[in-house]
Amino acid sequence: MQTSSRHGVKAHAARFTAQAVQEAARDAFLKLAPRTAMKNPVMFVVLVGTVLTAALAVQAMSKGQPWLYQMVVALILFVTVLFANFAEAVAEARGRGQAASLRAARSQLVGRRWRNGQFEYLPAAELRPDDIVVVGANEQIPADGEIVEGVASINEAAVTGESAPVLREAGTDRSGVIAGTTVLSNEIKVRVTAQPGASFLDRMIALVEGAQRQKTPNELALTVLLAALTLVFLIVVVTLPALGQFANVHIDVVVLVALLVCLIPTTIGGLLPAIGIAGMNRALEANVIAKSGKAVELAGDIDTLLLDKTGTITLGDRRATEFIAVGGTRVPDLREAALLASLADPTPEGKSIVALAQAQGATAGDITGSVFVPFSAETRMSGVDLDTRPIRKGAKSAIVAWARSVQAQVPSDLDAAVDRIARGGATPLVVADAGRVLGVIALADIVKHGVRERFARLRAMGVRTVMITGDNPLTAAAIAAEAGVDDFLAEARPEDKLARIRAEQAEGRLVAMVGDGTNDAPALAQADIGLAMNSGTQAAKEAGNMVDLDSDPTKLLSVVEIGKQLLITRGALTTFSLANDVSKYFAIIPAIFVAAIPGMAALDVMRLSGPVNAVLAALIFNALIIPALIPLALRGVSFRPGSAEALLRRNLLVFGVGGVALPFVAIKLIDLLLAALFGAR
Ligand SMILES: Nc1ncnc2c1ncn2[C@@H]1O[C@H](COP(=O)(O)OP(=O)(O)OP(=O)(O)O)[C@@H](O)[C@H]1O
Ligand SMILES: [K+]
Ligand SMILES: [Mg+2]
């Protein structure tokens, strides 16, 4: 077996590693290939401008005319394209670095396949779906799968970077295991769920590595808008010489190209891909693998978040704490019935009832030959059909309905017992046999630490939280109040979850849902954002559009923040880019016309040293602003939770006004420098 000293994604938290920068520098040149370059219309225009001005320089050179100016312009334009390519490449390289650490945890594993009562050692690459592998203590899990037998504590650090062990158990919503993680205790049987190299995580890693990156609808819309703007400016610039003729101004082609490049939105055009990729990278840093960039973006616009109660808001390890008999039943009789009804119940609830009953001295007779009735979220009860009598335990409404159907008595003190348990936030399970309702079992659960604060933060960001539970309304209300959710839905069956999501969506809201069970799969698929727990069942993971490697349901909060940050960053840098272009206009237009049309002097607010320096200064600024903004594009604009309007106002002020002011100052400074070095020209 492999020993593991790997660290998972967290340890590779995004930095500019030397290797990433080197790779990106190389890729910046590779991206010059016309087919790649054409995907970014704004920068493609700059590339065409580069070729054109370089050709003019060569032509002038061959004619023995001055060519240096054309060549310098061509060079600055070329560097501008390289900077834009570099921005995208550096974002991709960082994503690849993160994904590589995930991949490393998954290669070269060996599995023990269980077949016809024998083991067989096999490289993980030869394991197929539905193979059963046995994994013991200190062994690594060879393939993604679901535990079909046993319970184990597992160290998932190789994948999640989190070294606290987690419990995974057959027959629960925490049965999922991941290749590369290590079993710490106990032996489990795992059913392989994926083809080698095509597991769920493998496919997700491929997405992160960018090979299959697709533009999100928002990104596409912005690209089209920027291309349209570019076209408009192209028409403006192409018609300028004709206008110039009226005023007897001859406009040099090089100056026209420079003007065009300054006017078109090169800053956002260059940074747009990097912003999108960085959003997915940030999600990965948070140990969330998104199936698409679109999912991350959508998360930024979520209105409603639906959460499960048990296991999501609460720790989910429901334990029996008390037996309360009703209707004159003796407690030992209730205990014995509860024990019988739970002996074959593999759920944590069932096991804890067995444990409590036995600890209190209950013993069960022989139940061989009796028929076990498994729990389902649909019926909300479970039990056993003994030869002599049926016994059921479950939610009060379900058991009362069942009791009536078999003409069993429902004692009048049942409600009081159930309410007392529910008010305390515990789950009451009612026990009944064919004769009568015997009593109630209290199942205690604990609200997770810190969820209240997180819900408050979500509220501040305008996200409403709704708890959905199969539990009764009183327990639900108690837990809802303790956890601080905005609303709750009790006694919900799986189809009620789905209906609630559809209803919210019908009112025009974007809905996020967190889940782990096979029951949750339809809801995860229907929700706009479905965040599945990595510990969950395969069905849940396939249905969602994101998976949290840490299996932390409150992680959605981070995803919402990452999505919001992505949208805000894109908006802010678009504003900045367009504002920038206004200033560059004021730098170049006077340079073209002032000499011939003295009336244009009013436009010459920058008072630059001369037309040549003005053009060069504007172009140099235009090129340098791209790498200067790469860190911001990758890190994202910082934001505090607040209203959308307040954010918009602040961003317009900072990035709009700043976007006009900064180039004025910077271009003026570059011009002063050029004048000092080469004289006013
Ligand atoms: N093993 C079991 N046997 C019998 N009844 C059960 C068992 N487990 C749960 N129940 C009852 O069925 C109800 C519904 O269970 P379900 O798991 O669908 O919802 P939940 O766990 O209460 O809430 P959530 O939807 O938040 O997970 C529970 O509230 C409880 O009353
Ligand atoms: K520009
Ligand atoms: Mg449940």
Residues 518, 170: Cα–Cα separation, whole Å = 13
Residues 604, 607: Cα–Cα separation, whole Å = 6
Of the three residues 522, 549, 576, the one that is the final residue of a domain is 549
Nearest by Cα to 436 from 352, 330, 351: 330
Tell whether 263 and 332 lie within a shared domain: no
Q: What residue has token string 């990595």?
A: 534
Q: What is the DSSP string of 373-398?
A: E---TTT-EEEEE-SS-EEEEE-HHH
* pLDDT value at residue 650: 85
Residue 237 lies in a domain: yes
Residue 569 lies in a domain: yes
Tell whether 521 and 628 lie within a shared domain: no
* pLDDT value at residue 638: 82
Mark whether 308 is an active-site residue. yes
* Ligand of minimum distance to the alpha carbon of 380: 1
Asked if residue 520 has its Cβ within 6 Å of ligand 1, the reply is no
371 C-alpha to ligand 1 centroid (Å): 21
The pLDDT tens digits of the residues spanning 116-133 come to: 888 888 888 888 999 999
- Joined tokens for residue 610: 């001369």
Tell whether 569 and 535 lie within a shared domain: no
Tell whether 668 and 604 lie within a shared domain: yes
Residue to mutate, 469, 479, 520, ligand 1, most ligand atoms under 8 Å from C-beta: 469
- Joined tokens for residue 181: 């993680």
Catalytic pick among 173, 308, 433, 671: 308
Asked if residue 445 has its Cβ within 6 Å of ligand 1, the reply is no
Residues 563, 507: Cα–Cα separation, whole Å = 22
Nearest by Cα to 191 from 206, 207, 177, 180: 177
Residue 203 lies in a domain: no
Tell whether 141 and 228 lie within a shared domain: no
Residue 289 lies in a domain: no
31 C-alpha to ligand 2 centroid (Å): 20
- Joined tokens for residue 134: 């046995």
- Joined tokens for residue 78: 């070329």
Angle of helix 611-635 relative to helix 253-263, nearest 10 degrees, comes to 30
Within its chain, how far is the Cα of 642 from the centroid? 21
376 annotated as belonging to a binding site for a ligand: yes
DSSP-derived secondary structure letter, 292: -
Name the phi and psi angles at 123, rounded to 5: -65, 145
Q: Whose CA is closest to atom 15 on ligand 1? A: 470
Residue 293 lies in a domain: no
Range of the domain at 180: 110-198
Tell whether 539 and 438 lie within a shared domain: no
- Give residues with Cβ within 8 angstroms of 325, minimum separation 6: 331, 333, 334, 438, 439
Nearest by Cα to 178 from 224, 145, 222: 145
* pLDDT value at residue 107: 65
Tell whether 121 and 68 lie within a shared domain: no
Q: What is the DSSP string of 581-631?
A: HHHHHHHHHHHHHTTT-GGGGGG--S--S-HHHHHHHHHHHHHHHHHHHHH
Residue to mutate, 471, 495, 518, ligand 1, most ligand atoms under 8 Å from C-beta: 471
Q: What residue has token string 């504590």?
A: 153
Residues 653, 480: Cα–Cα separation, whole Å = 40
* ipTM tops the 0.90 cut: yes
- Joined tokens for residue 17: 């590693």
- Give residues with Cβ within 8 angstroms of 610, minimum separation 6: 591, 675, 680, 681
Asked if residue 470 has its Cβ within 6 Å of ligand 1, the reply is yes
Tell whether 184 and 127 lie within a shared domain: yes
Residues 374, 344: Cα–Cα separation, whole Å = 8
| Tally: H helices and E strands in the chain | 23, 22
Asked if residue 350 has its Cβ within 6 Å of ligand 1, the reply is yes
Half-sphere exposure (Cβ direction) of 243: Cα atoms closer than 13 Å = 10
Residue 517 CA, closest ligand 1 atom number: 27
664 annotated as belonging to a binding site for a ligand: no
Strands 145-149 and 188-192: antiparallel
Residue 487 lies in a domain: yes
Within its chain, how far is the Cα of 444 from the centroid? 32
Amino acid in position 603: L
Angle of helix 266-285 relative to helix 556-593, nearest 10 degrees, comes to 170
- Joined tokens for residue 310: 């048990």
| CATH number where 439 lies | 3.40.1110.10
Tell whether 503 and 567 lie within a shared domain: no
Asked if residue 173 has its Cβ within 6 Å of ligand 1, the reply is no
Residues 508, 304: Cα–Cα separation, whole Å = 11
Nearest by Cα to 524 from 538, 276, 483: 538
Q: What residue has token string 């390519």?
A: 85
Residue 377 CA, closest ligand 1 atom number: 18
Q: What residue has token string 């790649």?
A: 36
Of the three residues 415, 444, 473, the one that is the final residue of a domain is 444
Angle of helix 556-593 relative to helix 451-460, nearest 10 degrees, comes to 30
Please answer whether residues 393 and 429 qualify as being in contact, where contact means their C-beta atoms are separated by less than 8 angstroms.
yes
Residue 295 lies in a domain: no
Residues 319, 524: Cα–Cα separation, whole Å = 27
The count of other CB atoms within 10 Å of the CB of residue 298 is 23
Name the phi and psi angles at 81, rounded to 5: -65, -45
Q: Whose CA is closest to atom 30 on ligand 1? A: 395
Asked if residue 94 has its Cβ within 6 Å of ligand 1, the reply is no
Asked if residue 343 has its Cβ within 6 Å of ligand 1, the reply is no
329 annotated as belonging to a binding site for a ligand: no
Nearest by Cα to 146 from 104, 114, 177, 102: 177
Helices (H), 328-378: 331-342, 348-359
| CATH number where 481 lies | 3.40.50.1000
CA angle 500, 504, 505 (to 5 degrees): 115
393 annotated as belonging to a binding site for a ligand: yes
Name the phi and psi angles at 171, rounded to 5: 75, 5
* pLDDT value at residue 583: 87
375 annotated as belonging to a binding site for a ligand: yes
Residues 630, 624: Cα–Cα separation, whole Å = 10
Helices (H), 507-602: 521-526, 538-543, 556-593
Within its chain, how far is the Cα of 327 from the centroid? 52
Three-state DSSP state, 136: coil
Tell whether 343 and 419 lie within a shared domain: yes
Q: Whose CA is closest to atom 25 on ligand 1? A: 469
Residue 350 CA, closest ligand 1 atom number: 1
| CATH number where 146 lies | 2.70.150.10
Residues 274, 246: Cα–Cα separation, whole Å = 44
617 C-alpha to ligand 2 centroid (Å): 13
Q: How many domains does the chain have?
A: 4
Residues 428, 422: Cα–Cα separation, whole Å = 6
Half-sphere exposure (Cβ direction) of 181: Cα atoms closer than 13 Å = 31
Name the phi and psi angles at 462, rounded to 5: 85, 15
Residue to mutate, 173, 315, 349, 431, ligand 1, most ligand atoms under 8 Å from C-beta: 349
Residues 142, 124: Cα–Cα separation, whole Å = 5
Half-sphere exposure (Cβ direction) of 420: Cα atoms closer than 13 Å = 15
3-state helix, strand, coil in the chain (%, to 5): 55, 15, 30
Amino acid in position 105: A
Of the three residues 500, 516, 549, the one that is the final residue of a domain is 549
The rounded average pLDDT for each run of 10 residues, N- to C-terminus, in the chain (681 residues) is 37 60 93 91 96 96 93 97 95 80 71 86 88 92 91 83 81 85 90 78 66 73 93 91 80 90 94 90 87 86 89 84 95 95 90 94 83 90 91 96 92 95 93 94 91 89 90 94 94 88 94 85 91 84 88 85 91 93 85 73 79 92 96 87 75 89 94 91 81
Nearest by Cα to 219 from 300, 282, 287: 300
Residue 357 lies in a domain: yes
Q: What residue has token string 């300054």?
A: 262
Tell whether 237 and 268 lie within a shared domain: yes
Residue 471 CA, closest ligand 1 atom number: 29
Using the CB atoms, write b or e for 92-103: b if 16+ within 10 Å. bbbbbbbbebbb
520 annotated as belonging to a binding site for a ligand: yes
307: left (phi over 0), alpha (psi -120 to 50) or beta: beta
Tell whether 362 and 391 lie within a shared domain: yes
Residues 677, 681: Cα–Cα separation, whole Å = 11
